[in-house]
Amino acid sequence: MVARLPDRGINAPRRLPRPVEVAESTESAGRHNWLLYVFLFFLPLQNIQTGYMPNLGGGLNFLNIGFMLSLIGAIRCRGSLSRGSPVHKWIIAYVLANCVALMVGYNMLHLEEDGRFNSLKDAMIAVMLVFVVEMSVTNWATLKRVILVTLLPMPYMLRVTWVEHAGVDTSHYKDSLRIQGTFSLLGANEFAAFCVMMAVLLLALLLVGKFSWRWRALLGAGIACMVLGVIWCYSRTAYVTIIVGVLCVLLLMRGRLKMILPLLIAGLVLPAVMPESVTERFQSTSIEQGSRDESTEMRFKFWEIAWEHFNAHPAFGIGYKSFQAREYNPYGMDTHNFFMRELAEKGLFGFLITTGLFLSLLAASWRAMRVSRHESFAYPLGIGMVAAWFTLLVGNFWGDRFTYYPLIGYFWVYLGLMLKAQEFELAEQAAIAKASTDAPKPEVTVRRFAQPRPRNA
């Protein structure tokens, strides 16, 4: 939406609008998708969904009903999808590739208790959130409201994590410390991956965004909740990915040189203040043959099995969510590597589409960061999404961090927010450029001087 500038008259002094004035002009009254807000609040609280919300069967559960109501609310908001980004086409291609993989799996393997369709439906609902958010966000006010809603569940998530952590009485690491937080149907690695992703996104908003002190306090509290969740989950992958994400934010942000001293201090202080159990868990990481722990050793076995299935079915794979079946994997376990599973289950057809989707996500985030002014909300969102992309990339080499809806749902939400923020930002830049072109030029008075008299006159 292009802001309309007031007409001050042709003789008024020339003054271009400041970016803040143009941003305020786009804060027009818009409809709020309250149904989406409620849905997003409960989305990462899987323990409440499974423990307190009824499942009526036939698809009548929190996820399906909540998504449909959110979609209806998005249609009522009369918003539109952001324009100028090819990421939408890659998302549709990714959804269709998963449907093809599901059909391949049905054709190759028949299971008595087949939950592959429901698994695909839940994963695609998380992906479709990007479209619902884009249709619901019509101005800066609704965009910031969605960010606020994603912050609200975090204190409760911290409380659940702390109760689980405090229930294990030990000062040294053992497997009972691997808590799952609010992800009641998943595990510690998935919950830690969610905390890493959100901590990195919020850090970018805190360090780079031009927010008021109230917003900064909320963002800081959210970061604290997520960082504590990472520490108490004892996920070695999460420890590595949060370092990667923080470094990405600091390297991409403007004024990164001033962060060198705080980074050095943090590097010296953090190892000393970390619990001994965390240090023991981190030091147990090794990928060298002969020194791997059982968890790491099993991953290499799963990858070998997945590679064998890819070689046997290189075009379309063995089908969606088929690898865990004992007919294909005698251990009955996942590959613990998202990309290896894509190769085994979807073949080159699905793997190339997934790769294209990942690259389009990075390109869209990088473009939002590059084309936006530093005082715009699109700038920190772009930096945060680039950093979150790298955390997902690294994390998916050691597990599935891309298909579980409680984990990945907020990633698609923030992608939608970033795309809309970029659209608003480009509209503001166009408004400023138009105002600069249409503004009346100041009158110039030409003084007439007498012609110099010839010397011979």
Is residue 8 pLDDT above 70, yes or no? no
Is residue 169 pLDDT above 60, yes or no? no
Segment 342-357 shows an average pLDDT of 96
Is residue 341 pLDDT above 60, yes or no? yes
Is residue 31 pLDDT above 90, yes or no? no
More reliable by pLDDT, 11 or 273 = 273
Segment 420-448 shows an average pLDDT of 76
Segment 269-287 shows an average pLDDT of 59
Is residue 267 pLDDT above 80, yes or no? no
Query: What confidence score (pLDDT) does residue 26 get?
Result: 44
Query: What confidence score (pLDDT) does residue 234 get?
Result: 83
Segment 35-61 shows an average pLDDT of 90
Reported as a pLDDT band with limits 50, 70 and 90, residue 3 is very low
Is residue 403 pLDDT above 90, yes or no? yes
Encoding tokens for residue 28?
A: 């027009």
Is residue 374 pLDDT above 50, yes or no? yes
For 262, other C-beta atoms within 10 Å of its C-beta total 10
Reported as a pLDDT band with limits 50, 70 and 90, residue 303 is very high
Segment 97-110 shows an average pLDDT of 93
Distance CA 200, CA 206 (A): 10
Distance CA 122, CA 115 (A): 11
> Among 52-61, 131-140, 254-263, which is the least confidently predicted range?
254-263
Q: What is the mean pLDDT of the chain?
A: 84
For 258, other C-beta atoms within 10 Å of its C-beta total 8
Choose among 382, 440, 408: nearest CA to 252. 382
Reported as a pLDDT band with limits 50, 70 and 90, residue 24 is very low
Reported as a pLDDT band with limits 50, 70 and 90, residue 296 is confident
> Among 14-23, 34-43, 241-250, 309-318, which is the least confidently predicted range?
14-23
Q: Which residues contact 74 (CB under 8 A, 6 or more apart)?
A: 33, 36, 131, 132, 133, 135, 136
Reported as a pLDDT band with limits 50, 70 and 90, residue 289 is low
Cβ atoms of 87 and 382 within 8 Å: the answer is no
> Among 97-111, 129-143, 282-296, 432-446, which is the least confidently predicted range?
282-296
> What proportion of the chain, given as a percentage, has pLDDT over 90?
56
More reliable by pLDDT, 269 or 157 = 157
Query: What confidence score (pLDDT) does residue 29 get?
Result: 52
Q: What is the 3-state secondary structure (H, E, C) of the chain?
A: CCCCCCCCCCCCCCCCCCHHHHHHHCCCCCCCCHHHHHHHHHCCCHHHHHHCCCCCCCCCCHHHHHHHHHHHHHHHHCCCCCCCCCHHHHHHHHHHHHHHHHHHHHHHCCCCCCCHHHHHHHHHHHHHHHHHHHHHCCCHHHHHHHHHHHHCCHHHHHHHHHHHHHCCCCCCCCHHHCCCCCCCCCCHHHHHHHHHHHHHHHHHHHHHCCCCHHHHHHHHHHHHHHHHHHHHHCCHHHHHHHHHHHHHHHHHCCCHHHHHHHHHHHHHHHHHHCCHHHHHHHHCCCCCCCCCCHHHHHHHHHHHHHHHHHHHCCCCCCCCCCCCCCCCCCCCCCCCCHHHHHHHHHHHHHHHHHHHHHHHHHHHHHHHHHHCCCCCCHHHHHHHHHHHHHHHHHHCCCCCCCCCHHHHHHHHHHHHHHHHHHHHHHHHHHHHHHHHHHCCCCCCCCCCCCCCCCCCC
